[in-house]
Structure 1
């Protein structure tokens, strides 16, 4: 294939832009904030588990405390009723039965109030544990939010660079003859690099010095004839004299 020296130089511009685009894409995919967010996964899961566990424990105790408080109120109501009935009773047998029930209710209320006190203390401790778990989760979520904001900012900056370089690449590609561009793209897809400079006797495609015979053959080839790097297979662009 033949191509003017200007067309061949444009291949180097295109390759430089492709290198820049590849570097920017790698940079975008390996931003430290992304790794830091992924690293928070286990910590976040542990914090959420701790929060949910503390919440369930607190809710269970509160339900139990509400039940006990309701039982205390019910027993007190029955004691109040029995006391009222005892006050107006004229039957010794009825009075004895009421007093027996009042004694039983008093013992029951004492037991319930003891349990109520235990539960109030347990609820207070559970509330402290819940607050601590909530703070831990909020801290992790806060760090994640900060990292996410930083990641999005970094991505936007890189995306702007990608857009500028992609636009420039489109302009360079539009100047290339169709068959040369297709050849470049085909080689780049296969070898990872489509075009490389020949600096002295070193090919930038392989970063190796060419053998004297290879270099002699390449130097003897007409300037408008496409030549290839023996090591990488990339189009080799010579140092043409203007």
Structure 2
């Protein structure tokens, strides 16, 4: 394949633009913000699950406390009724004895219920602290996530801006190259990620392979307009005064 030396040298400009586009794409795929956000989102999901468990347990305890309080009120109402009957003098001695026995039983029942209620309330208080603590952690983690997402979005905006500029530069460069040379460049770039590179001091700057004597002789013997490729990486080799040939 033939191409004017000046045209071949312009491939270096295209390769430079493409290298930056590749860096932009690599940066987009490997942004640390993405991994950070995924980690924060995982933590946030776990915290929300924990918060739901705490809130559910708190609701269950609230219902149990309400049930216990209602039962205590029922026992107290029964005690009040029995005392009213005894104080009213409308019952006989045997009934009084039975009521007094029932009052003793109700007192023991009330004491046991109140002990249980106290334990439930202590558990509810501790669980309430867990709910508050987890809620605070959720809020803090949401703020951390929002900050990470802000930084990610800023980075993406910068990358989009850079890509748009380099795409524009690339569009301006493409018409400078004959179709055959451009197809070769694009094919090599698709396979090796670098389509063209400078020869500097007898070395291919695409793969950093230093040429042996035979290769140097072959390149030197090639006409100036002959398109030469690196036998190692396939990149189009651009010859200049820096090549050391």
TM-score bucket of the superposed structures, by smaller chain: 0.7 to 0.9
User: For 1:82-113, what per-residue CA distance to the aligned partner results, in whole angstroms no more than 9, with x for missing partners?
Assistant: 44555556341555544444443333223222
TM-score (norm. length: structure 2)? 0.83
Question: 1:83 and 1:13 mapped to 2: Cα distance?
Answer: 104
**Contact 2:194–2:235 at 8 Å: present in 1 too?**
yes
User: For 1:174-217, what per-residue CA distance to the aligned partner results, in whole angstroms no more than 9, with x for missing partners?
Assistant: 33222221111111122232111122422212323323332233
- 1:19 equivalent to 2:19? Answer yes
1:89-128 mapped onto 2 (5 Å cutoff): 90-92=90-92, 94-128=95-129
* Contiguous gaps of at least 5 residues in structure 2: none
**Contact 1:28–1:158 at 8 Å: present in 2 too?**
yes
SS at match of 2:237: strand
SS at match of 1:231: coil
SS at match of 1:115: helix
SS at match of 1:193: coil
The residue number in structure 1 matching 2:219 is 218
The residue number in structure 1 matching 2:132 is 131
SS at match of 2:136: helix
Distance 1:168 1:89, change over 3 A: farther
The residue number in structure 2 matching 1:10 is 10
SS at match of 1:196: strand
How far 1:50 sits from its partner (Å)?
A: 3.9
SS at match of 2:198: strand
- 1:185 equivalent to 2:152? Answer no
User: For 1:201-237, what per-residue CA distance to the aligned partner results, in whole angstroms no more than 9, with x for missing partners?
Assistant: 2221232332333223323322222111222211111
**Contact 2:54–2:127 at 8 Å: present in 1 too?**
yes
Q: What RMSD in Å do the two structures reach over aligned CA positions?
A: 2.6
* Contiguous gaps of at least 5 residues in structure 1: none
The residue number in structure 2 matching 1:71 is 71
The residue number in structure 2 matching 1:176 is 177
The residue number in structure 1 matching 2:61 is 61
Question: 1:41 and 1:65 mapped to 2: Cα distance?
Answer: 35
The residue number in structure 2 matching 1:157 is 158
Residues 74-83 or 112-121, more deviating: 74-83
TM-score (norm. length: structure 1)? 0.84
User: For 1:128-173, what per-residue CA distance to the aligned partner results, in whole angstroms no more than 9, with x for missing partners?
Assistant: 1222222233333332222122112112111211121122112212
